[in-house]
């Protein structure tokens, strides 16, 4: 008996191996058929790409194929931008049962997505955007329970989107630029990170998107209605089946209301008539009224004379009666001699509006001085606190933080006056249309280092006062005539909980028990992290329904980290290692839990300048073993954007933090300040 078992065992092993080998061959044959249709018989394809029966997709590394290292099964097929012009046969691809990613982005593939897509049970990513695929979307899409990202944008799909609401893990749905019809897909918008159905033929009401997506995600669909697109939906027609009993009852109710209203009106009229004043009282009242009218007309006449000197676009809605004596001019040389009537008479160009107020560009009468005036309304801080903040900020100067020239404060509104910065904002350089303005990797690194160090300094100096920036974003990073970056509007806004992070519940719960000042500084760190993400990705914070922080988190989580970086940086030769290092810093800054975010000192010390040096090695080398004395070091390193020179000196005591005193000299001012007092040996 044992001898028989020994003879059967090799046979079973052989059969098992043969079955496995047959399955592998079947998958390979299906994949080759998939490529045969996609590549439309490209003869040179077999030799250069693989994808033939004489090679193995995993061992021979077919182009675009990634395999599981242990099981040697096909996991990803990514064939983007290969100029494929054939036909999509999804059934062949789904023979590879372990397939999780299928991407055919930006080719010229035709065909349709067949019902066989339901066989791709493990599919998590389906990208077929930028092709000419047509037809209806199959009902079997609802069987893809593991699907996370679905992108069919810029094709020729028609018909309605099947009900895929049961796919609970879906975080991306892109279907813009097609010919889809019907109602907006029924999705769980509370979990979606990316969504866009613009430029289709959808109709009906827009569902509650939980405040995550803007009108841009729905534009180009004339049949859609709702508050988000500022188009009211038609009222739902009332039921036609009404009982006679309810109609009669409603008639008596309305009649009762009418009678009651008439009684109230008559009673009020009677009271008014009974309290009429005598005729002589009337004349006295009329006399007083005429006197007041004369005063008012005189005042109005005087004000109109001033108004004649104002531009049509001047800042004219401030209460001029108190404003003339309420402009507080600070210590900046630009503000010397500045009067409020100068601002009122000067022509003003509206640069932009936001939820916190408006920004104007003001040219003074001499035509030489140009100012920026920030007008704020509905601020939660009272006037006295506002004045305290402005004067404290005037005492805390940093060359990379734009100082206020003057301010005005009343109960209704507040004005901040700054020197106008002619070269726009970081947002415009990254996402705008400033032709001729090169903004490469070296410049972006310099911006990160300069802004990070300036923010760290302000946090250190103003921590006890509880004055953070409050609204840090790329539109508030401005460039002067030398293309030096500077932080504008520091301390102008008071922290709001909803501005802290991207709506993670953990952040909200944590902040319920955090001091307001703590939250405001942590919000600054979050804002700085988002700025780093903009520098790394080249993408704005919000566009086409995409939240940048969420998108980066999701891509990194799925181990597609390299996909987040701006391709322009890669083409310029930016080191992938340095990109990853900066990305890690950004991710720590945007941690959904504010308590786990670093402080700005910890962030700034890790930021390299354009030469890749984490602070100045020349300084540390010059210090050597000297202890307890002042060491002056001339650092020949130049600021990469302005040519501005930097000199450093240090008081060294190994038992205490290293104190750096940095003196930056430029044509305008000479400022000495402490930087990063937490550097330990």
Decide which of 27 and 653 is more confident: 27
Question: Sign of the CA dihedral 446, 448, 449, 454?
Answer: positive
Of 327, 361, 538, 368, nearest to 439 (Cα)? 538
pLDDT score, position 365: 67
pLDDT score, position 495: 56
pLDDT score, position 583: 94
Same domain assignment for residues 519 and 444: yes
* Final residue belonging to a domain, choices 360, 389, 420: 420
pLDDT score, position 412: 72
* Cα–Cα distance, 560 to 549 (Å, whole number): 15
- Residue 243 belongs to a domain: no
| Structure token pair of residue 656 | 């205490």
Same domain assignment for residues 461 and 569: yes
- Residue 449 belongs to a domain: yes
User: Is 148 part of any known ligand binding site?
Assistant: no
Q: Per-residue confidence at 380, pLDDT binned at 50, 70, 90? A: low
Q: By mean pLDDT, which of 44-48, 208-212, 469-473, 556-560 is the weakest?
A: 44-48
Whole-number percent of the chain with pLDDT over 70: 65
Q: By mean pLDDT, which of 485-489, 552-556, 674-678 is the weakest?
A: 674-678
- Residue 405 belongs to a domain: yes
**Could you give the residue ranges of the DSSP H alpha helices within 277-431?**
279-308, 320-323, 340-345, 383-395, 426-431
133-153 tens-digit pLDDT: 999 999 999 999 889 999 999
Cα distances (Å, whole numbers) of residue 184 to 225, 378, 569, 672: 11, 37, 37, 59
Q: Per-residue confidence at 58, pLDDT binned at 50, 70, 90? A: confident
Same domain assignment for residues 637 and 582: no
306-327 tens-digit pLDDT: 333 333 344 554 444 334 446 7
- Residue 236 belongs to a domain: no
Decide which of 501 and 295 is more confident: 501
Same domain assignment for residues 651 and 602: no
360-379 tens-digit pLDDT: 888 886 667 888 898 887 66
- Residue 493 belongs to domain with CATH number: 1.10.510.10
Given a contact cutoff of 8 angstroms between Cβ atoms, the answer to whether 170 and 142 are in contact is no
* Cα–Cα distance, 394 to 372 (Å, whole number): 17
169-185 tens-digit pLDDT: 888 899 999 999 999 99
- Residue 181 belongs to domain with CATH number: 3.80.10.10
Same domain assignment for residues 51 and 94: yes
Same domain assignment for residues 411 and 474: no
* Final residue belonging to a domain, choices 420, 448, 481: 420
- Residue 357 belongs to domain with CATH number: 3.30.200.20
Same domain assignment for residues 605 and 630: no
pLDDT score, position 41: 57
* Cα–Cα distance, 32 to 74 (Å, whole number): 13
The mean per-residue pLDDT over the stretch 396-425 comes to 87
231 secondary structure, DSSP code: B
Residue 452 has pLDDT above 90, yes or no: yes
Whole-number percent of the chain with pLDDT over 90: 28
Range of the domain at 406: 304-420
Say what the pTM is: 0.57
Of 172, 181, 216, 180, nearest to 198 (Cα)? 216
The mean per-residue pLDDT over the stretch 296-310 comes to 35
Residue 633 has pLDDT above 60, yes or no: no
Same domain assignment for residues 413 and 426: no
- Residue 273 belongs to a domain: no
Same domain assignment for residues 69 and 130: yes
Cα distances (Å, whole numbers) of residue 412 to 42, 351, 376, 496: 72, 22, 9, 20
Decide: helix, strand or coil at residue 573: coil
Decide which of 221 and 258 is more confident: 221
* Final residue belonging to a domain, choices 613, 636, 667: 613
pLDDT score, position 241: 40
- Residue 298 belongs to a domain: no
Residue 25 has pLDDT above 70, yes or no: yes
Given a contact cutoff of 8 angstroms between Cβ atoms, the answer to whether 580 and 587 are in contact is no
Same domain assignment for residues 627 and 601: no
Same domain assignment for residues 597 and 528: yes
Give me the chain's average pLDDT, please.
Answer: 74
Same domain assignment for residues 543 and 558: yes
Q: What is the DSSP string of 53-85?
A: TTS-TTTTT-TTEEE-TTT--EEEEE-TTS---
What domain count does the chain have? 4
Q: Per-residue confidence at 161, pLDDT binned at 50, 70, 90? A: very high
pLDDT score, position 589: 95
């Amino acid at each position: 008996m044992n001898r028989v078992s020994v003879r059967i065992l090799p046979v079973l092993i052989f059969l098992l191996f043969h079955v496995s080998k047959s399955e592998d061959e079947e998958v390979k044959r299906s994949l080759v058929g998939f490529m045969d249709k996609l590549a439309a018989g490209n003869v040179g394809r077999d030799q250069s790409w693989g994808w033939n029966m004489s090679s193995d997709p995993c061992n021979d590394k077919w182009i675009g194929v990634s395999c599981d290292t242990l099981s040697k099964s096909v996991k990803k097929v990514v064939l983007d931008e290969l100029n494929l012009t054939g036909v999509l046969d999804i059934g062949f691809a789904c023979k590879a049962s372990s397939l999780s990613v299928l991407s055919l982005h930006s080719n010229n593939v035709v065909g349709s997505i067949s019902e066989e897509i339901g066989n791709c049970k493990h599919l998590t990513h389906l990208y077929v955007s930028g092709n000419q695929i047509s037809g209806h979307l199959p009902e079997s899409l609802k069987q893809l329970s593991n699907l996370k990202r679905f992108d069919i944008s810029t094709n020729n799909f028609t018909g309605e989107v099947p009900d895929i609401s049961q796919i609970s893990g879906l975080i991306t749905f892109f279907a813009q630029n097609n010919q889809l019809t019907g109602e907006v897909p029924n999705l769980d918008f509370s979990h979606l990170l990316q969504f866009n159905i613009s430029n289709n033929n959808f109709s009906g009401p827009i569902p509650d998107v939980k405040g995550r997506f803007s009108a841009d995600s729905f534009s180009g669909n004339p049949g859609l209605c709702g508050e988000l697109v500022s188009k009211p939906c038609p009222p739902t027609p009332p039921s036609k089946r009404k009982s006679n009993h309810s109609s009669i009852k409603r008639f008596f109710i309305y009649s009762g209301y009418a009678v009651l209203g008439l009684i109230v009106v008559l009673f009020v009229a009677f009271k008014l008539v009974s309290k009429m004043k005598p005729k002589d009282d009337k004349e006295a009242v009329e006399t007083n009224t005429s006197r007041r009218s004369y005063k008012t007309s005189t005042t109005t006449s005087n004000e109109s004379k001033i108004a004649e000197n104002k531009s049509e676009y001047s800042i004219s809605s401030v209460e001029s009666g108190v404003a003339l004596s309420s402009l507080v001019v600070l210590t900046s040389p630009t503000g010397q001699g500045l009067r409020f009537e100068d601002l009122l008479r000067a022509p003003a160009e509206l640069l932009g509006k936001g939820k916190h107020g408006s920004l104007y560009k003001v040219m003074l009468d001499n035509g030489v001085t140009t100012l920026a005036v920030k007008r704020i309304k509905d601020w939660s801080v009272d006037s006295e606190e506002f004045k305290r903040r402005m004067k404290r900020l005037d005492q805390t100067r940093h060359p990379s933080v734009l100082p206020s020239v003057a301010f005005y404060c009343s109960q209704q509104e507040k004005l901040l006056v700054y020197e106008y910065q002619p070269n726009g904002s970081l947002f415009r350089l990254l996402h705008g249309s400033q032709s001729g303005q090169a903004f490469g990797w070296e410049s972006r690194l310099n911006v990160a280092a300069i802004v990070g160090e300036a923010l760290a300094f302000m946090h250190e100096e103003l921590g006890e006062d509880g004055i953070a920036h409050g609204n840090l974003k790329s539109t508030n990073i401005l460039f002067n005539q030398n293309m030096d970056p500077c932080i504008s509007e520091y301390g102008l806004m008071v922290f709001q909980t909803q501005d802290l992070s991207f709506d993670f519940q953990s952040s909200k719960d944590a902040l319920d028990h955090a001091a307001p000042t703590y939250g405001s500084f942590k919000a600054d760190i979050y804002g700085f992290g988002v700025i780093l993400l903009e520098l790394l990705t080249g993408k704005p914070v919000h566009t086409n329904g995409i939240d940048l922080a969420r998108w980066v988190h999701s891509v990194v989580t799925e181990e597609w980290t390299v996909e987040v970086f701006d391709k322009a940086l890669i083409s310029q030769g930016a080191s992938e290692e340095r990109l990853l290092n900066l990305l890690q810093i950004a991710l720590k800054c945007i941690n959904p839990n504010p308590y786990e975010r670093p402080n700005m000192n910890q962030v700034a010390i890790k930021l390299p300048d354009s030469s890749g040096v984490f602070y100045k090695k020349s300084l540390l080398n010059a210090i050597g073993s000297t202890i307890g004395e002042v060491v002056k070091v001339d650092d020949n390193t130049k600021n990469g954007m302005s040519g501005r020179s930097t000199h450093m000196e240090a008081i060294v005591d190994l038992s205490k933090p290293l104190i750096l005193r940095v003196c930056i000299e430029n044509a305008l001012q000479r400022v000495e300040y402490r930087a990063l007092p937490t550097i330990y040996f």
